[in-house]
Amino acid sequence: MANLFENLSDRIQGSLKKLTQRGKLTEKDVTTALREVKLALLEADVNYKVVKDFIGKIKERAIGVEILESLNAGQQVVKIVNEELAELMGGKSEALMIDGMPAVLMLCGLQGAGKTTMAAKLAKKIGEQGHAPLLVACDVYRPAAIQQLKVVGEQVDVPVFSIDGSQNPVKIAKDSIDFARKNGRDVVILDTAGRLQIDETLMTELQEIVASVVPKEILLVVDAMTGQEAVNVAKTFEDRLHLTGVVLTKLDGDARGGAALSIRAATGKPIKYVGLGEKVDDLEVFHPDRMASRILGMGDVLSLIEKAQGAYDEKQARELQDKIRKQKFDLNDFLDQLQQLKKMGSVQDLIGMIPGMNKKQLQGAQVNEKDLVYTEAIILSMTLKERVNPSIIDGKRRKRIARGSGTTVQQVNQLLKQYKEMKKMMKQMTNMQKQFKRRGKMKLPFPGR
Amino acid sequence: MEKKNGFFNKLFGGLEKTRQQLTNRISALVGGHSELDEEFYEELEEILILSDMSFDTVEALIDEVKKRAKKMGATESKVAEVLIREILVDWLTDHPNDSKPKSKLHIQLVIGVNGAGKTTTCGKIAALEKRNGRQVMLAAADTFRAAAVEQLMIWGERAEVPVISQGQGADPAAVVFDAVQAAKSRNIDLLICDTAGRLHNKKNLMLELEKIHRVLKREAEDASIEVLLVLDATTGQNAIHQAKTFHAITPLDGIILTKLDGSSKGGVIVPIVQELQIPIQFIGVGEGLDDLQEFDAEKFVEALFPQIIDKA
């Protein structure tokens, strides 16, 4: 499956490449190129009006001095698009406000956005930061929602407050505060029922909860796949509740996440966290600059490195980065990585973060996690010498390795091929990083000719 | 406006404001432009894109409007209203579902991404078919999400149909296997299999789905099997990729469009139906047991553009 973020950047870069191929540009040329940017953004589900404003801004900046008189016109448009996109996404990431006795954090949103899962993820994260969180089951409507919160609460080892049989979320929220105080819990996380922003009764109910427990954080949980309505949904929740931020879920899918741009533009509220999977650890701080880069096809090198650091110790991580940079990454490191993979999340996620990995390269590189078991066995059946220098593995050795690992020679061949590909990829990545350094502040690789 | 049935009221009820907005905009657009000119089409494009219809579809729709208008020799923008509706209804119909019950046991495999509304939809279908006098059974093959089994059990109680389950963490293919055996021995007409939400770009989960489907086909050889994709009407263009990817793994027989009681228009369904040539079976319009309706293209489009119908 192609990484759709790449599609968007392909389109933007493709359309801008046309700019670079011509010496002098007319206003019409810029308009044509920006039309493709507009289409790409619309396909990414960025709201029509947001796109219109965005394109207008870029046009204003692009037409005239900067573009028409510059020899490096395309480069400058890329830069402007990137800058404006980053600006639209907001400044640096913002932390949660969770100091209080107790501090209340309320999650709200449409049905199926992923509130309950997000509540557990946040509880885990907050607990790891030295707080004592309490999960509160305020979803009294969806069947088994309370049960679901109890199960995920157990998974993250955070107590869950609920009142069995109660149909009154306002009272549940209120009582949970007393419970938290008595039990030394300093952050109360309210999981509310999913509701439509046009549902008057349920929106009023949320306002009542807010009035009675005064949350420090009111977070709107939004599915990254949301379409054009994201703007209206976010606006209504903002008008009724005065949000403090947004949490984006299901970003591990292949939706381009244009909703993130729309919501940001419509409410001005920061996106604080993103959900990247169904496991309780699949939560990351939102980095607006990285998201903008990701949309533009820069990949997400920083997240990748941070993820690696979460699982390895820092020294190991530095060693790994060093090896990647010096292109001395051998099968021992490959094995090391495999063994750390479980801690790092899905391989697909990691691959998606590597810059320069476009859909063509991803084809055939689909990772089946069960294959990893075989891969591990194959490497373990190699001698240390073979692992350091795989090029010495000839036909005879391949046969021995296959026998030793209970696999076939074909599988051994496949692994060696994959390793070669991976090295190639890392070389690309290193070259790209060198390019960034050369270009100083300019963060975009110039679309290749 | 002629007779309003429950479906229509429900669609209208939740949507009145937003639908009205859209229609008012089109009406205002028509009022403001008596000519079918470029400016008119540009504004029309905006209105349609805001319904989540893909850009390509909007372009195709507008081209078609232009073509038909030209053929009719029409130059007035009023004509566009009628034409849009006509074309959309054309596009949304004529996709028969070939997997309607042919044999004694009919099986529905309900699939989709996380949070689309699969479990709720299963409960609603069960209730609907039970009311229609059929022997219905539910299979809790979402063994992954916390409390998903419990959630389906509650729906089973509400709809008064039995639920086959093995609890969280069980192999979903094994649940389906059990359910087919149970359905056969209990003389069931309709077996509805709820599955775990899965993002279509997760290879392992898609392979799991393929396996569930394979087990179904193998164990219920004489049964007719219908694969239904649940789509959230709030979803944007990603729904197209969802539908295509799921279709490639387990060929779809129909679509269920949920959460149409919200403010989203679900316009993305148009390119999906066109591309895959499969029908929309049901639409979900709320969280109640009865909030499921058979899809009717004409009513769907009517609900999208109510005032146009009044004029037409």
pLDDT digits (tens, 9 = 90+) for B184-194: 999 999 999 99
Is A33 or B68 the better-scoring residue by pLDDT? B68
The domain spanning residue A38 has which CATH number? 1.20.120.140
Q: Given this model, what pLDDT does residue A414 score? A: 86
Is A318 a domain residue?
Answer: yes
Residue pair B244/B276 in contact (Cβ under 8 Å)? The answer is yes
Closest chain A residue to B43, measured at CA: A48
Domain identity same for A112 and A228: yes
Where among A295, A329, A363 does a domain terminate? A295
User: How many of the other CB atoms lie within 10 Å of CB of B93?
Assistant: 16
SS3 state of residue B95 = coil
Residue pair A386/A423 in contact (Cβ under 8 Å)? The answer is no
- In sequence order, the 6+-apart residues with CB closer than 8 A to the CB of B122 are B110, B138, B152, B155, B192, B194
Q: Given this model, what pLDDT does residue A397 score? A: 93
Residue pair B98/B217 in contact (Cβ under 8 Å)? The answer is no
> Which DSSP helix (H) or strand (E) runs through B108?
strand B106-111
Is A352 a domain residue?
Answer: yes
Contacts of B14 in chain A (CB under 8 A): 196, 198
Domain identity same for A247 and A329: no
* Mean predicted confidence (pLDDT) in B5-17: 48
Is A306 a domain residue?
Answer: yes
The domain spanning residue A423 has which CATH number? 1.10.260.30
Q: Given this model, what pLDDT does residue B101 score? A: 65
Where among A89, A124, A153 does a domain terminate? A89
Structure tokens at B70: 């030209």
* pLDDT exceeds 60 at position B102: yes
Of A247-261, B175-189, B268-282, least confident by mean pLDDT is: A247-261
Domain identity same for A44 and A9: yes
CB contact under 8 A, B150 and A4: no
Is A354 a domain residue?
Answer: yes
Q: Domain coordinates of chain B in residue numbers?
A: 6-94+303-311, 106-252
| Nearest-10 Cα torsion for A13, A14, A15, A16 | 50
Q: Where are the beta strands (DSSP E) in B162-306?
A: 163-164, 190-195, 224-232, 254-258, 280-284, 292-294
CB contact under 8 A, B199 and A259: no
Q: How far apart are CA A135 and CA A161, in angstroms?
A: 6
Flag residues of chain A having pLDDT under 50.
Answer: 1-8, 65-72, 297-302, 305, 308-309, 312, 355-356, 358-365, 439-449
Structure tokens at A347: 């391989």
Domain identity same for A248 and A319: no
Where among A60, A89, A118 does a domain terminate? A89
3.30.413.10, 1.25.40.10, 1.10.10.10, 1.20.120.140: CATH of B6-94+303-311 = 1.20.120.140
pLDDT digits (tens, 9 = 90+) for A324-381: 667 677 888 777 777 666 555 555 555 555 544 544 444 444 555 667 778 888 988 9
Rg (CA), chain B: 21
Structure tokens at A42: 């619309």
Is A445 a domain residue?
Answer: no
Of A6-15, B63-72, B103-112, least confident by mean pLDDT is: A6-15
Q: How far apart are CA A140 and CA B239, in angstroms?
A: 29
The domain spanning residue A213 has which CATH number? 3.40.50.300
Domain identity same for A253 and A269: yes
Task: Tell me which residue has tokens 């119909």.
Answer: B93
Q: Given this model, what pLDDT does residue B168 score? A: 85
Q: Given this model, what pLDDT does residue B45 score? A: 86
Q: Given this model, what pLDDT does residue B15 score? A: 45
Q: Least CB-CB distance to A232: which of B49, B116, B263?
A: B263
Domain identity same for A291 and A308: no
Domain identity same for A146 and A59: no
* pLDDT exceeds 70 at position B311: no
Domain identity same for A186 and A45: no
Contacts of A368 in chain B (CB under 8 A): 203-204, 207
Identify the domain containing residue A68 by its residue range. 4-89
Cα torsion angle, A391, A396, A399, A404, sign: negative
Q: How high is the mean pLDDT of chain A? A: 79
Q: Is the pTM of this model over 0.90?
A: no
Domain identity same for A130 and A268: yes
Q: Least CB-CB distance to B203: which of A250, A256, A367?
A: A367
Does domain B106-252 bear CATH number 3.40.50.300? Answer: yes
Q: Given this model, what pLDDT does residue A163 score? A: 96
Q: Given this model, what pLDDT does residue A310 score? A: 54
| Number of structural domains in chain A | 3
Is A448 a domain residue?
Answer: no
Contacts of B155 in chain A (CB under 8 A): 143
Is A219 a domain residue?
Answer: yes
Domain identity same for A60 and A113: no
Inter-chain contacts counted by CB atoms under 8 A, chains A and B: 157
Q: Given this model, what pLDDT does residue B5 score? A: 46
Is A147 a domain residue?
Answer: yes
Residue B282 has φ and ψ, to the nearest 5°, of: -135, 160
pLDDT digits (tens, 9 = 90+) for A200-214: 999 999 999 999 999
Give the neighbor-by-neighbor strand order of the sheet with B254-258: B163-164, B136-141, B190-195, B106-111, B224-232, B254-258, B280-284, B292-294
Contacts of B202 in chain A (CB under 8 A): 252, 346, 348
CB contact under 8 A, A196 and B203: no
